[in-house]
Amino acid sequence: MAERFAIAPQVVDPIETHINHTIDGTIGLLNVRRVQLLKQVHNMREDERAAEIARQEMTTQLTEAQAYLQGHMKEHPLQSMQERMSKEIEDKLRDLRNNNPVESVLKWQCDTRELETYISRLGDIVQEPVGVPKYSTFQTSTVATGKQGSGPGQLYHPRGVAIHEATNQIFVANYSNNRIEIFSDTGEYLNQLDVGQLNRPWGIAIHGENVKIRGLGSNNGQFNYPCQLTTDPIGHVFIADSGNHRISIHDTDLNHLRNITHQSITQPFDVKVSRDRVYVLCPDNNLCMLVLALEGDKLHSLITRGQGMDVLSSYFFCLDSLNNFVISDQDSHSIRVFSPEGNLLHKIGTEGHQQGMLYKPLGIAITPNGRLVSVSSNKNYGLQIFY
C-alpha cells in the first residue's frame, strides 16, 4: 500500500529560495573542487619530484657504466658488442637530458600559484562546503522542540526524519501519534499531515512530494517489516525491506523495478543513495555499514559494532555533502560522525533529557543549510536541531 501527501503551502518566496540555494550549492561545489584540485596538483608535483630523483639515479648509473665500458674497451675481445652497448647508453643519456623534468616542475608550481590566486578570492566567502554541519560546535548550540505528547507539534515515539530540499522544512514520522509533523529548520511547528489516516508511520522520504510506503509479503513489491526509505536524484524509491533481507527499488509511481540482494544484507534497517553508491545499515551485522554499487555488487564494509570508537546500536543514519556517515547510536545516547573510509571524526551528545542531551536517538537528517536534525525518546524534547 502506498500513500502520498502534498507538502503544505509555504510562505517563503520560491524564486528567492531557489536562487539562494543555487548560489550556496555552487559555492560549496567550488570549495570541494578546490580541495580536489589542490590535492591533485600536490600529488602531481610529488610524482614529478620522485621522477626527477629516479632520472638522476638512472643518469648516474648509466654514466658510471659508460665510463666502465670505455676504460675496459681495449681489453674486451668483443669490441663490436661493447661499442653497441656504449652507443645504447649514450642514447639513453641523451633521452634523459632532453626530457628535462625541471620545466614540468616549474610549470606545476606556476599552475599552483595561479590556482591559489583564484581560490583566495573565494576564501572570504565561505569556509566549508554547503551542507556540511559544524560538528565541533554541536555540544552546546541547539534548538529543542517537539515535547512529548499528542497535541499539535508534540511528538510521541518519533521515528524517521526527512528534509524538504527547497524550504529546509523538517518532516517527522510521529509514530505513536499516527501522523507527520512539520517543523521549520529553526524548530517552529508549522503543520501536520493527514491526522487519523496514518497507521504508525516509520520511514519517510521526500522527492517533490511526501512518500510513505507500507505492506506485507515476500513477493516483488511486497514488504516484510519495511523500515527506512530514501530516494535517488531522479525519484526512485529505495526501501530497506528488513524481513525479506533486501533493498526494494520502485519508480516514482511506486511500481516495483528490482531488488538488491546480497548475502551480507541481513535485516537492513536504513538505506541511502549517493551518486553511484548505495549505503545499507544492517544493525545486527558486526560490519554494520555496507557499501554497494547501484547494481547491487558489494564493494566493502565499514564501521564495526562494539565498544570504544565503534557504534553500539545503530538504526538510522544520513550522509552529509562530503559523504561522511552521521549515525545515531541508541545505546551510547550519541551521534557519531565517520569519514567515508570509516574513521571516527566526531561524537555528539550526552545522555539526558535536557536541551542538548540525547536519549536513544533515532531518526537523523541534515538540512541543505547544514543543520543537524535528530529525533529521540527524550522525555522533554523529541526533536533537536544542532547548528
Across the range 196-205, mean pLDDT stands at 81
CA 183 to chain centre: 24
Q: Report pLDDT for 106.
A: 44
Q: Nearest 5°: phi and psi at 382?
A: -90, -20
pLDDT tens track for 247-256:
999 998 889 9
CB 267 within 8 A of CB 251: no
- CA nearest neighbour of 324 among 129, 168, 126: 129
pLDDT tens track for 163-189:
998 889 999 998 888 889 999 999 999
Fold (CATH) for 132-386: Neuraminidase (2.120.10)
The larger pLDDT score, comparing residue 147 to residue 60, is at 147
Q: Nearest 5°: phi and psi at 41?
A: -65, -45
Q: Nearest 5°: phi and psi at 207?
A: -145, 80
- CA nearest neighbour of 203 among 253, 152, 169, 239: 239
- Rg of the chain in Å (alpha carbons): 29
Percent of the chain with pLDDT over 70: 73
pLDDT exceeds 80 at position 288: yes
pLDDT exceeds 70 at position 111: no
Name the least confident of 55-59, 183-187, 276-280. 55-59
CATH code assigned to 17-123: 1.10.287
Name the least confident of 65-69, 124-128, 306-310. 124-128
pTM score: 0.65
d(CA 122, CA 118): 7
Across the range 265-294, mean pLDDT stands at 89
Q: Report pLDDT for 272.
A: 95
d(CA 268, CA 317): 12
CB 20 within 8 A of CB 205: no
Domain extents in the chain: 17-123, 132-386
C-alpha grid cell for residue 281? 545499515
pLDDT exceeds 50 at position 299: yes
The larger pLDDT score, comparing residue 61 to residue 114, is at 61
Q: State the Cα angle at 257 between 254 and 259, rounded to 5°.
A: 115
